[in-house]
Amino acid sequence: MSREDFRLPKVLRGRLLWFTADPIEAGERAQHYFEDGALVVEGGYVRRAGEAGPLLASLRPETPVEDHRPHLIMPGFIDPHIHFPQTQVIASFGAQLLEWLQKYTFVEEQRYSDPAHCARNARFFFDELLRNGTTTAVAFCSVHPESVDAFFAESARRNTLMVAGKVLMDRNAPEGLRDTPERGYAETKVLIEKWHKRGRQLYAIAPRFAISSTEAQLEAAGALAREHKDCHIETHLSENEAEIAVVRQLFPWSRDYTDVYAHYGLLGPKTLLGHCIHLSSRERSVLADAGSVAVFCPTSNLFIGSGLFDWRATREAGMRIGLGTDIGGGTSYSMLRTAAEAYKVLQLQRQNLAAAQAFHAITRGNAEALGLEGLIGSFEPGRACDAVVLDATATPAMRHRMETARTLNEELFILMTMGSDRNVAATYVMGEKVQGSREPSAPKAVVRA
């Protein structure tokens, strides 16, 4: 396809749904739904979105239409916490966090010193994300710069918007996974120079967690954060009780775990903190003041036995929340499965996660958590056309259950409770179909044919 063809408008038609705010807070006006909707896409961006009839009538008759009716078309899912080198750690038996890291994760991540291994697994990783309808992720790579190069090269090839970084780790890990404060700093600088804002790629400074960095390295991470204010910071906080006890021993001067990151200047509105399960009210209030984001990773929290994330207390403290998979502690790449497990974690605490709230969370909500709502997460004009097409009747059990569904809300709740990769009929990146039937869907209808 020539550049000129790419700029010509085309239309995606289907049941369009997107959010512009959290429906729990903003009510009806947060949700935009068109039973027969059309997305007008130009140069990969949404130009207009709304009722198909008038939109189609306003376009030239030869405008191609990719017709997905009766499926739902939503903004592509966003996963704000995932580990690229853990695709073969997922489903490792019988350990909680610290043992799980030593026994499985740190063994596996050493394989990422090999660029060929990185490249092969990057291809798998992106195939798998897109198969699940996830078009943006915030990823930890391994300590090796090669893993970051392979990750971003694959993302650039696919034109996906990704946020990622090399983990900084210089203690409490095998030698093959340790850098030094100086080397970690220097390698991160080179990677930022090479990848940050190259096309759609964004860099995240990534001190793995307090236990695996010396004070000198956390200081270097703080310097990187000061020198690159437009980079995200990704790390882990307060996931597991044994972890918190070790942090207390390693940083005896700190008031608590959060205080360690605060001390080194690592907390701000671009900071994404995986887990945040066992926080005190003091910590929540510090994090709320900093504008940092707690990323709730339910399948991981259940699988590694870390604990139950308290959504209500986190929100009431004024903190921002993201919802992520945490592969390979997490057990599914699917943001639908992730939403299902989030619902169950909240049920155990007599809290709720309504379907609209969950779909907001995995699209617009996570875009806001990344501060990228101007680029992705909705179909407002000017956003990238990263989209997922969902079929709520993709399995016999779902088709059977859907026979009794009467409302969009019921359909969404069935999708999140029973759904998985099987419900993803197609995925679009910048207006191009990257997943679904091999052929880009032949125009089934032509405007005003």
Which range touches ligand GUN (CB under 6 A), out of 97-105, 262-270, 342-350, 375-383? 97-105
d(Cα 51, Cα 423) in Å, to the nearest integer? Answer: 24
The binder of ligand GUN chosen from 13, 15, 71, 83 (CB under 6 A): 83
Exposure on the CB side of residue 18, measured as CA atoms within 13 A: 31
Looking only at residues 102 through 131 of this chain, which bind ligand GUN when binding is defined by CB under 6 A? 105
Q: Which is nearer to Zn ion, 64 or 329 (CB)?
A: 329
Which of 77, 209, 261, 264 touches ligand GUN (CB under 6 A)?
Answer: 209
Side chain identity at 69, as an amino acid letter?
A: R
* H-type alpha helices, 145-297: 145-158, 181-195, 215-227, 241-250, 257-263, 281-290
Q: Which of ligand GUN, Zn ion, none sits in contact with 209, Cβ below 5 to 8 A by type?
A: ligand GUN
Closest approach of ligand GUN to the CB of residue 79, in Å: 14
Largest CA distance in the chain: 73
Between 293 and 430, name the residue whose CB sits nearer to ligand GUN: 293
Q: Which amino acid is at 361?
A: A
Residues at the site binding Zn ion, with contacts judged by CB under 5 A: 274, 326
Q: What angle is formed at CA 356 by the lines to CA 353 and CA 360, rounded to 5 degrees?
A: 95
Kindly state whether residue 144 participates in binding ligand GUN, applying the rule CB under 6 A. no
Q: 429 pairs with which residues across the strands? A: 432
CA distance 72 to 13: 9
Shortest CB 388 distance to ligand GUN, Å: 25
Report how far residue 162's alpha carbon sits from residue 137's, in angstroms, rounded to the nearest whole number: 5
Which CB, 68 or 208, lies closer to Zn ion? 208
Number of residues that bind ligand GUN (CB under 6 A): 11
- Supply the minimum distance, in Å, between the C-beta of residue 421 and ligand GUN: 22
Determine how many CB atoms are found less than 10 A away from the CB of residue 417.
17
Nearer of residues 9 and 307 to ligand GUN, judged by Cβ: 307
**Does residue number 238 form part of the binding site for ligand GUN (CB under 6 A)?**
no
Nearer of residues 177 and 424 to ligand GUN, judged by Cβ: 177
Angle at 423 between CA 35 and CA 338, to 5 degrees: 105
Q: Least CB distance from residue 327 to Zn ion, whole Å?
A: 8
Report the SS3 class of residue 103: helix
Residue 217 found at the interface with ligand GUN (CB under 6 A): no
Query: Looking at beta carbons, which residue is closest to ligand GUN?
Result: 329
Helices (H), 304-407: 311-316, 335-347, 355-360, 366-369, 396-402
Choose which of 79, 149, 239, 310 interacts with ligand GUN (CB under 6 A). 239
Token pair for 61: 């008759």
Choice between 148 and 424, CB closer to Zn ion: 148
Length of the chain counted residue by residue:
449
**Residue 296, interface with ligand GUN (CB under 6 A)?**
no
Instruction: Report what 356 binds from ligand GUN, Zn ion, none; CB cut-off 5-8 Å by kind.
Output: none
Reduced to 3 states (helix: H, G, I; strand: E, B; else coil), residue 152 is helix
Cα separation, 234 vs 242, in Å, equals: 21
Q: How far is the CB of 211 from ligand GUN (least distance, A)?
A: 7
Q: 23 or 207, CB closer to Zn ion?
A: 207
Write down the least CB distance from residue 319 to ligand GUN, Å: 19
Residues 106, 103: Cα–Cα separation, whole Å: 7
C-beta of 92 vs 393, nearer to ligand GUN: 92
- Cβ of residue 372: shortest distance to Zn ion, in angstroms? 20
Nearer Cβ to ligand GUN, position 73 or 82? 82
> Site for ligand GUN (CB under 6 A): which residue of 15, 144, 232, 236?
236
Choose from ligand GUN, Zn ion, none: what does 208 bind? Cβ within 5-8 Å by kind: ligand GUN
- List 300, 378, 423, 435, residue binding ligand GUN (CB under 6 A): 300
Q: According to the binding rule CB under 6 A, does residue 208 interact with ligand GUN?
A: yes
Other CB atoms within a 10 A radius of the CB of residue 146 amount to: 19
Contact 232, 205 (CB under 8 A): yes
For the chain, state the CA radius of gyration: 22
Strands (E), 77-118: 77-83
In the complex, what is the shortest distance from the CB of residue 253 to ligand GUN, in angstroms, rounded to a whole number? 22
Which residues are CB-contacts of 242 (< 8 A; sequence separation ≥ 6)?
Answer: 96, 97, 98
Q: How far apart are CA 440 and CA 443, in angstroms?
A: 9
If one asks whether residue 337 binds ligand GUN (CB under 6 A), the answer comes out as: no
Contact footprint for ligand GUN (CB under 6 A): 83, 97, 101, 105, 208-209, 236, 239, 300, 326, 329
